[in-house]
Each structure stands twice: as C-alpha cells, then as structure tokens.
Amino acid sequence: MTWIDGTLVLLFLLYAIMAGLRSRKISSRSLEEYFLAGRSLSGWRAGVSMAATQFAADTPLLVTGLIATSGVFALWRLWIYAVAFLFMGFVLAACWRRAGVLTDAEFTEIRYSSSGAVPLRLVKAIYLGTIVNWTVLAMVLLAATRIAEPFLLWHDWLPDSLFTALSSAVKWAGVSFTAGGQAGQDIWVRSTDNMISIGLILLVTLFYSTTGGLRSVVATDVVQLFLALGATGVFAWYVVESSGGWNEVLRQIHVRFSSGETGSLTADQLLAFTPSHAKDVSAALIVVFGLQWLLQMNSDGTGYLAQRTMACRSDHDATQAAVTFTVVQILVRSLIWLPLGLGLLVLFPPDPGLPADAMIADREFTFVRGIAETLPTGFKGLLLTGMLAAFASTVDTQLNWGASYWANDLYNRFLCGSVLRRSPSGRELVWVARLSNVGTLAGALAIVTMLSSLQGAWRISLLLGAGLGPALVLRWLWWRMTAWGELASIAMSAGLAPILLMTVSDDHDAVRILTVAAVSTLAAVVVSVATSPEPMPGLRGFYVKVHPPGFWAPVARLTGEHGRNSVNRLGQGLAITVAGTASVFSLLTGFGSWLIDSPPPAWFPWKEAWIGGLLMAGVLLCPVWVSYLFHPPREPAACDATS
C-alpha cells in the first residue's frame, strides 16, 4: 500500500473524528438525543444508515463465497429479508415511532402490563444487548482482519524495537488474531499487525460513536455507504476488465462450468435465480428461504432497525427509511456484487480438489486477493477505505445500540429504578451510555479470542432467532399475545436449539430451523391463550398510543373505535408490502437475469419473455407502493379516540 492509499484512509478517519466532535454537545443533553438523535432524522438518512450498518466488512466476502460454492440462488437467503424490511416500513414503522420508547426492550413494558413484562424486559436487555451484541461485534472484528491483514503491514513500517515490544505483548497474552496471512509468516507477527490495525480503527470509531451518539453514527454512515458502494463498483469494473470484459466472463463461466467438475456446479446451477436450476434444492430449503424473513430475531425490526425507525422525525419518514434501506440493500448493492462475484470466479478459478470448508475459505479470500492484484494505486486505497468504513459503520451501530440497553434498561430501569430507587439525571445517563460503549467493546474483544470455540453458540443464536421471530410479530397483531407467551417462546427456543444441534446434522439445517420455529410459536400461542389476558387498562393505553394493526377488536371498542379499523389497517399495510416485495424481487430478478445471462425457470423456458415480463411487472407495481411514500393514508378519526 502506497502513501496515496494511506492518505485516503487517514482522511476518512479524520472525517469520522470531526463528526463526533460536531455532535458532542447536543448529544450530551439526554438519552433521547444520544440514542435517537432527538427523533430528528429524515427518512432517507435513516434508511441509508440502516444499509451502511448491514454493509459489514464480512458481507462482501460472504457473498463472494456463496456465489462460488452454492450459486446465485443461495443469495435468496439474504434477499428474502426485503419482506421483513418492507413489512416493518408499511405495517409497523409508524407504530414503533408512536410507542415513544428508546429500546425494543423498553417496549415490552408498553405492550404488556402483567407481572411477566418486567422479567421479559430484563431478559431481552441481557440477551440482545449483551450476548447477541457482543458475539456479532466479535465476529465483525475477526472478519475485518481478512481485509486489513494483507495491506496494513505494521511490521514493515514501525521501528523494529517498537514492533518487537508490541509483538511480545501479544504473544505473552496468547491472543492469536489472524485470518491466515502470507505463508511462512509468524502467527504473532500477523496477530500484532491486526491488533494494531483494528485497534486504531476501533479507537476512532469508539471516539465518534461515544462522543456524538447516534447523530455522529448516522453522519458517518451516509459517507461510509456511498464510499463503500462506489469503491465496490470500481472494484467490480477492474475485476471484469482483468478477466477480459463482461462478455468474456460469461463465456468463461459457461466453458469452465459446463460439466460441473469445477467447484461441482454447472453453469446453469451457478447462474440460476430460480430453484428449478439451482443445486440441491429441497422442499424444506425453499420453505426456509421463503420464511427466513419471519424466522429471525429482527422480524419486526427489533434491534438497530427499530432504533433508526424510532429516531425518524415523523411516521412518514419512518416508512421512507425502510423503503430506502430495501432499495439500496437489495437492488443497488446486489447488482454491483453479482458481476464482481462472477468476475472473481473467472479471474481466480476454484480448485475442485479442496475440501468443502477449505473451498469456502478460499473463495471468500478471493475478494481480498482481487483487491491486491487488480486495483492500481489510489483505487486500492479507495476500496480499502470503503471496506474499513463498512467495518466502522457496523461497529459504531453495535456500540451505540448495545449501550442503549445498558443505559436505558439495565441501569436506568433496573439498577436505579428497582434497586437504588432514584431517578438519574439526563447527563448521568449519557455518561453511563458512553461508558457502556467501552464495556461493549471490551466484551467483544474478549470473545474474539474464543471465536474458534463459539461456532456452536452462533448456530444456537440463529436457531433462537427462528423461534423468537413469529412471537415478535404476533405481539403487534394480536391482542391476546402475553408477556408469558413471549417468554415461553424464548425458553422453548433456548431449550430445543442445543438438542437439535447435537442430534440433527448440519445437512438438515432447514429441518432444525423449521422445528424450532414451529414448536416455539406453538408454545407462545398456547401459553398466551392458557394464561390470563394482559390487563385491559394497559392494553387500552397501548392501543390509544400506538394504534397497532391487526386483531384488536375487543380493545378497540373500549376506545370508541370500530373493531374492524385495526384489521383494515393491517390489510392495507400487507397489500402494499406484497406489492412492494413483488416489485423489488421482479426488478432484481429481471435485471439480474439479464445482466448475468441467467437461465429462465424450467416451467417458463422463454428467456426474453421471462426477463421482459419480470421488468414490466416490477415497473407496473411501483406506483402502488411508491405513491404511499408521498401520500400515506390518513389514520381514521376513531384512532384518535381517548375515551
């Protein structure tokens, strides 16, 4: 890496520091200013911030590996989340805002008023704000080493005496922090290089996220996303040109993968958007792909998506945020990554003799190898800056979001409210939040050193998400859902997941997910029906404040509203969600199939008609859901009833 490349990285770091300083004073006023930017975000900024957070340092590597080892169809496991994003935007975004809470854990005591609400809030604050958050952050930290390790060679730049001292400290601590690196290099040299690189980036990220709160996080996210997308687009162009141009890439794909020997995929299996040509597609897998948006712990937006939604300045902006996020995340980002993933596959052909695990790692590393071997000076620094920016965007969100549970739920609600029985000042809570950022980072760094033994725990968290998702959606749509029912789904997921991991092989992962989801959802419904309903005064207050959609007739009638109004709101929201989802997926499949010369489905073998029909359907459906962004329906007058 040259001085030009290094200068680009430094300029980004300086911008991030300035963003934190600019927002420091206003973010110090209260937790609402610190965690929700005073509920002042415009829709497009909140949506771009969501997309920047999901553009993690490990995501491009993951996509590169998925395309090479399982084909384009495997990406539907990522694309299907568009349903959840649009469902949140058109059905639940306004409800999240009207709830007036700081965290989704706090929301439990707004939705429920029985004795089960308090333990449910505590469980969520500990599980989401600590266990899940630390683990996700740790995995992102480890993934960042794959980007930094080949380029940030501190052992060549620092004085020998200084680097030797640092390396000795790392070796003494026994912390192996490397993704592999160059053959023959000492593991402690690579670990020290990575510790220095990640440590410096974390210091900057910790500074601006801690001082400026969500305002500085969003300000940097906007720059980070456009930088990462632009740099990735340039990278894709260089990779394709290095492979002989786009037509040559497609020709090589069909030649090299004609028999299925290279990487065990045929060309049609590699390029297929539809299941009829994809490899090893079972009925259970298709069901999981179709329900993945629901069978996950963020199905209703729980987490940082809800945080960005609640930070919007209006209900309308909250909906715009979800749609902006979906378009950038599913359409724009994917159409850049498709030619990049296929170009890398041609530029660096796979070795069919590698074992499955080694093949995945090798294919993921081609992303980094492509940066090193195809990009010239300046552009290499641009992409490295973009990838480090993506890393920083994910880290700053995890820090800020995780700290919100510690400050608002664990400290303010439980320690001060229940144990010390006092009311902390706004500035005190902000300082607790800032210290919580440091604690969150320390916890994640501790987990990084044990990640090799935590893969089973990570799979458990995925299964837990499958069990939690349906209950999270039901609490919005069904008045009879209770806190004890939601706790039952958590307990059932926690008990069933490790049993299935020990008794069902990874080859049947789809069966495990469906089993956990079915049993946990059944437990949530049965317990909710078997126990007493939530107290009606609490439900009435929630309904008047939030106006949830769905099946709330008994509660709605207490407010003077017609019982079918909430059902009508749900029906309207679902109709727009379906139209938006169909439009986005039609445009994605149509443009994507045209771009990569994907085969049409077996049941409709006319390629030109297939692509043309998809594009036409996507465009014709756009007015149905896009018009909603500019002219949202007015709430019925009865929704404002307070008596």
Q: 149-197 pLDDT, tens per residue?
A: 778 888 888 888 898 898 888 888 776 777 554 444 578 888 888 888 8
Q: What's the CA gap between 144 and 151, in Å, rounded?
A: 12
Would you state the pLDDT for residue 53? 86
Residue % of the chain over a pLDDT of 90 = 45
Q: What's the CA gap between 428 and 262, in Å, rounded?
A: 60
pLDDT in tens, 588-640: 999 999 999 999 999 999 999 999 999 999 999 998 888 777 766 565 444 44
Would you state the pLDDT for residue 185? 57
Q: Average pLDDT, stretch 434-454?
A: 76
Would you state the pLDDT for residue 453? 39
Would you state the pLDDT for residue 477? 97
Residue 99 pLDDT greater than 50, yes or no? yes
CB 324 within 8 A of CB 43: yes
Residue 558 pLDDT greater than 50, yes or no? yes
Residue 169, CA atoms < 13 Å, CB-side half-sphere: 9
Would you state the pLDDT for residue 641? 40
> How many CB atoms are closer than 10 A to CB 634?
7
Query: Is the pLDDT higher at 59 or at 126?
Result: 126
Would you state the pLDDT for residue 213? 86
Query: Is the pLDDT higher at 171 or at 119?
Result: 119
pLDDT in tens, 216-249: 889 888 888 888 899 899 999 999 999 999 999 9
Q: What's the CA gap between 580 and 587, in Å, rounded?
A: 11
Would you state the pLDDT for residue 19? 81
Q: What's the CA gap between 469 and 475, in Å, rounded?
A: 10
Residue 287 pLDDT greater than 80, yes or no? yes
- State the average pLDDT for the chain: 86
Would you state the pLDDT for residue 597? 94
Three-state DSSP state, 478: strand
CA distances (Å), origin 18, targets 11, 311, 388 = 11, 22, 17
Q: What's the CA gap between 299 and 133, in Å, rounded?
A: 17
Q: Average pLDDT, stretch 403-416?
A: 93
Would you state the pLDDT for residue 263? 56
CB 131 within 8 A of CB 160: no
Nearest to 49 by CA among 240, 238, 213: 213
Rg (CA), the chain: 25
Mark 358-385 as b/e (b = at least 16 C-beta within 10 Å).
Answer: ebbbbbbbbbbebbeebbeeebbbbbbb
Separate counts of helices (H) and strands (E) for the chain:
30, 0
Residue 127 pLDDT greater than 90, yes or no? no
Per DSSP, what are the bridge partners of residue 551? Answer: 478
Q: Which of 46-55, 327-336, 441-450, 590-599 has the lowest mean pLDDT?
A: 441-450
Would you state the pLDDT for residue 147? 75
Give residues with Cβ within 8 angstroms of 119, minimum separation 6. Answer: 483, 487
Q: What's the CA gap between 424 and 87, in Å, rounded?
A: 37
Would you state the pLDDT for residue 187? 81
What domains can be seen in the chain, in order of their start residue?
3-453 (1.20.1730.10)
CA distances (Å), origin 76, targets 18, 50, 272, 288 = 39, 19, 11, 10
pLDDT in tens, 344-392: 999 998 887 777 777 777 888 888 889 888 988 888 888 888 877 777 8
Would you state the pLDDT for residue 183? 46
DSSP 299-317: TT-TTHHHHHHHTBSSHHH
